[in-house]
Amino acid sequence: MITSLQNEKIKELMKLKQKKYRDEMNLFLVEGFHLVEEARKNGCIQTLVTTLDDDFAEDTLYVSESVMSKLAFTKSPQPIMAVCQKNNTSKILQDGTRYLLLDRVQDPGNVGTILRSALAFGYDQIIMSLDCVDLYNDKVIRATQGALFQMNVCIMDLKDAIECLKKQNVLVYGTCLLNAKSIDTYSNEKKMAFVMGNEGQGVSQNILDLCDQLVYIPIQSVESLNVGVAAAITMYHFRNE
């Protein structure tokens, strides 16, 4: 059992709390029984970290509760974590029919909610801009409730993504209020992609200029919807039945 925070393996794991090192090592941490089990189903666990005495099929580091409390992201950590291989891509899915693009979305809870909704409504791929919140931020991971391990996520420049989608005959819809039409105006098409924007600024104009159509969700009494809510409504409305 490892009891010291000065242990070299523990020092390496501590680094994974920072995006810089997650990117360098292509690894990330998940915490708790549910997320560890989802990672196990996906086959992306490199190492388990636990305070339990159980035997596990994976390579396992047994640590003290004090070490676990330092590694964990929550105040009352569960007795198990996993070091996982990243599973995102930088390539557009070739045979998809429904895509959701995120332009500079910064709130971890919003990104997590959007991933769960995309999985629930049968979307093929989430495409995140390079300046979105880190997909492997611990708050994003918890908010996905395991959807991270099932949803195809691509991280790339959105201009390149839209260009690629159009070559695949995917119609791209930007969400905004100005010069846009209600989502009720449009019917389902075979291949569709929707762009959701930053919480405060919406979709950037240079991205809107590349879209085939501009759409908005008709609402009353408030100026705008939370991007996670708006994405869920849009995806449900245009789900591929």
CATH code where residue 145 lies: 3.40.1280.10
pLDDT level of residue 81 (50, 70, 90 thresholds): very high
CA torsion angle for 48, 125, 127, 106 (degrees, to 10)? -60
Sign of CA dihedral 30, 33, 38, 39: positive
Same domain, 47 and 137: no
Residue 224: predicted pLDDT: 82
Q: Is residue 2 a part of any domain in this protein?
A: no
Q: Is residue 3 a part of any domain in this protein?
A: no
Q: Is residue 49 a part of any domain in this protein?
A: yes
3-state class (DSSP) for residue 238: coil
d(CA 205, CA 227): 17
Same domain, 106 and 58: no
Q: Tell me the residue range of the domain where 22 lies.
A: 8-85
Q: Average the pLDDT over each of 50-54, 174-178, 201-205, 219-223 and give the range with the smallest value.
A: 219-223
Flag whether pLDDT at 211 surpasses 90.
yes
pLDDT in tens, 97-113: 999 999 999 999 999 99
Residue 221: predicted pLDDT: 87
82 and 141 in contact (C-beta within 8 Å)? no
